[in-house]
Amino acid sequence: MTTDVLKEFSGLAPFVDAWSLATEDERRAKRKSSTKEELQAFYNAMLPELEKILDLADQYPKGKMPPEVDTYFFMALSLAEVAPHIELYSGNPNVPFSFTEERFIALHGQDRG
């Protein structure tokens, strides 16, 4: 399966190291430290693959995915972190006109998934 998954999502290879992040805290930090251009490039690459990634992840119970599937599932979660910033905030990595994000602490921010 490893070869098949890697081949199917080979177009996402340039984004794996930066965006396959296991925790909410990591994903939020990556989004906040990225430029508009980086967010847009990741969004553009991921969006067409999202349905296939989620279909693949649905084949396994939570916590039982092979590592190569985890890789792309975590990228899908990163896309969920990034998408509102592309779709609603013109690529701004921060949330405009709001309280500073640092005031909010994710209770499960260090949990995987």
CA 106 to chain centroid: 17
Report the share of the chain in percent with pLDDT over 90: 66
Cα(79)–Cα(111) distance, integer angstroms: 17
45 within 8 A of 15, measured Cβ to Cβ = yes
pLDDT of 18-70, one tens digit each? 999 999 999 999 999 999 999 999 999 999 999 999 999 999 997 899 999 99
Distance, C-alpha 38 to centroid of its chain? 13
CA–CA distance, 31 with 91 (Å, rounded to integer): 10
The answer to whether the CB of 75 falls within 8 A of the CB of 20 is yes
